[in-house]
Amino acid sequence: MQLDLIGHVALITGAGRGIGRTIAERLLEERARVVVLDVDEAGLAWFEPARAAAGTDGLALACDVTSTESVRAAVAAVLDRFGRVDVLVNNAGILGEGLVEETDDATWNRVFDVNVTGTFRICQAVLPAMKEQRSGRIINAASFAAIVPSVGSAAYAASKAAVVQFTRVLAGELGPWDVTVNAYAPGMVPTELNGFTEKEQAVQDRLLDTLTLRRWGRGEEVADLVCFLASDAAGYITGTLVDVSGGKLATQLPQRAYEIAGGR
């Protein structure tokens, strides 16, 4: 299948590291014109050499998704340079761990400001261009926590559930302009943010035992899904949440299958 993203203008938030960077790298491989945004401008130093190696046009911009002014300025710069936005990937996000009784207002508000309102701000900023084009792909980072949350993750899980519902509403509103809006739910992909592979082995084993495919996910596997959703091949998919978690909790006690297989 040819995804044919050559020349498409793709904007990715939180692209300085982790899954966001991997998504941007994958889109460069597809020869899209990639725009990377991150609040940490130094974190975008990787982009220019990668863009030059890919032989495609692109742009790296500092952008704080918690600031409407910063978001609008970044989107204006993209439109001034390229005249359009074909793909928006709202990847920027933060964690906010803690039991409900221990979570303060600042933590709760910060998580929602980045994960939910940040997504809202970027979407709102690109909508006029996509509606004028009568085309576009908006792809929002949710999480498996939006489906089955963990104890101690109220702020994060609630924010990602909000992203899912926001995605569905926006998909409904943009249908008349042939703009699709979808969300993806990564499972356990090790990043600097979550530190999965730095945990004690017993903790890692307990987490891996919840997976039908008993291994950590890879950012590249998430990026492949995002590229598909960004392409014309996904033109009739909108308003949905795609699970890319290795079958996390698809069945009760999935580790039992490994025990059975190991005994044969």
Predicted pLDDT of residue 211 = 86
The total number of structural domains in the chain stands at 1
What is the CATH classification number for the domain harbouring 102? 3.40.50.720
The neighbour count for residue 19, using CB atoms within 10 Å, is: 27
CA dihedral 160, 223, 238, 115 (to 10 degrees): 20
Helix ranges, 100-188 (H): 105-112, 118-133, 154-174
Taking a C-beta distance cutoff of 8 angstroms, is the pair 167, 116 a contact?
A: no
Predicted pLDDT of residue 1 = 60
| Secondary structure element (H or E) that encloses residue 29, with its range | helix 18-29
Task: Tell me if 258 is assigned to some domain.
Answer: no
Predicted pLDDT of residue 2 = 66
Task: Tell me if 118 is assigned to some domain.
Answer: yes
Predicted pLDDT of residue 138 = 98
Residues labelled catalytic: 156
DSSP state of 145: G
Q: Phi first, then psi: what are they for 227, rounded to 5°? A: -65, -40
Predicted pLDDT of residue 196 = 79
Task: Tell me if 211 is assigned to some domain.
Answer: no
**Spatial distance between the Cα atoms of 151 and 139, rounded to a whole number of angstroms:** 27
Predicted pLDDT of residue 212 = 87
Task: Tell me if 20 is assigned to some domain.
Answer: yes
Predicted pLDDT of residue 115 = 98
Predicted pLDDT of residue 169 = 98
Positions of the chain with pLDDT lower than 50, given as ranges = none
Task: Tell me if 4 is assigned to some domain.
Answer: no
Place of tokens 């261009």: 129
Burial of 214 per CB tally in 10 Å (0-12, 13-18, 19+): middle
**Spatial distance between the Cα atoms of 144 and 81, rounded to a whole number of angstroms:** 36
Among candidates 186, 146, 183, which has minimal Cα distance to 168?
Answer: 183
Domain span at 43 = 9-193+217-246
